[in-house]
Structure 1
Amino acid sequence: MKALKIFPGLCLVLFVFTTCSEDDIDDVKPEIDLTISGAFPLNCDTLYFGETFTLKMLFTDNAELGSYSIDIHNNFDHHSHSTEVSECSLDEIKDAVNAFVFIEDFEIPEGLDAYEASEEVSIPESDSDGEFDEGDYHFFISLVDKEGWSVQRGLSIKILRR
């Protein structure tokens, strides 16, 4: 009788271990490639208020991509999220008066393991509080695959007026 109670549990354990193979597990982070021709922005690049630029990057994954986001925020205090080897020249530390902030999420079409992002991003000159502060900013990209693995790239940029 005791064997009849244990048998279904053993069958369940055996089923779980035989149906899940390591081949089914996606444990690889996606990649952000900035070495493609025309990639933009790159570390130490300059963007300009009142202008639009085209984000260009290649995103890849071993299985399937999910989404990506862009976060542009000031670096007036010289904090760091840089993932790049090269260092950029920074302005003097200052307090933000009216710093520009841009945060946006983008979906990647389903079923792709490679996607060349080409997004038009506009940087306004001002908001209701006046002109945005010029200077050092971070351009932070986060890429997530369908399984939830993520990778980030933190670029140091300047945003100025022409």
Structure 2
Amino acid sequence: MKRNTIYSIMLLCALSACSGSDDEEQKDMQQPVISEQGITANPIDCQQYHRGDVIPFHYVMTDDQELGAYNIEIHNNFDHHTHSTTATECPMDAQKDPKNPWVYNRDFSIPSGQRTYDARHDIQIPTDIDPGDYHFMIRLTDRAGWQQLHAVAIKIVE
């Protein structure tokens, strides 16, 4: 009898030690995704815009647990540097020194609890900037801090 009680207690302890709680929050180990699926994404590589135009930004952002925020940055690529996020190669103007380059940098929040977000913004291109090659950068961060970068090569013309 004593032996059965001891075995029962040992079995109960072993089962308790091995069991996990379904309520425990799983660690987010995946970076978020900037997607073109199911939409007409904009901008895409090699698109051209005129000074004074509007860039109608549209991408879908997803995460396996929860999205955080995103940033859009636009900067010149007059020196032909790369961010290597796509294999597309666009025709480029000759290298040049910037005189009045366009610099755009803005953070956007995503409402709490979202795993999918349809991001849309109209971005006005200034009329007095240097025309030429630019990078349109999207940085998406999820709530856990993982980040996805998507760089698009665009051209601003007269």
Q: How many residue pairs get matched?
A: 140
Distance 2:105 2:90 in 1: 23
Distance 1:102 1:82 in 2: 20
**Cα offset, 1:113, TM superposition:** 0.2
Match of 1:27 in 2: 29
Q: TM-score, normalised by structure 1?
A: 0.80
Match of 2:111 in 1: 109
**Cα offset, 1:53, TM superposition:** 2.3
Q: TM-score, normalised by structure 2?
A: 0.82
Match of 2:102 in 1: 100
Tell me, yes or no, if structure 1 residue 145 matches structure 2 residue 142.
yes
CA contact (8 A) 1:60 1:114 kept: yes
Tell me, yes or no, if structure 1 residue 158 matches structure 2 residue 155.
yes
Letter in structure 2 aligned against 1:160:
V
Distance 1:54 1:68 in 2: 16
CA offset digits 1:79-116 (Å, max 9, x no partner): 11131111111111111111111000000111110001
**Cα offset, 1:34, TM superposition:** 2.2
Q: Which has the larger radius of gyration?
A: 2
The RMSD of aligned alpha carbons is 2.0
Query: Identity of paired residues, percent?
Result: 40
**Cα offset, 1:23, TM superposition:** 6.0
Mark the runs of 5 or more structure 1 residues left unpaired by the alignment: 1-14, 127-131
CA contact (8 A) 2:39 2:59 kept: no
**Cα offset, 1:37, TM superposition:** 2.3
Match of 1:136 in 2: 133
Distance 1:22 1:49 in 2: 52
CA offset digits 1:11-52 (Å, max 9, x no partner): xxxx9xx67x99611011000002432210001111221122
**Structure 1's 76 and 123: CA in aligned 2 closer, same or farther, altered over 3 A?**
same
Give SS of 2:87's match. coil
Mark the runs of 5 or more structure 2 residues left unpaired by the alignment: 1-16
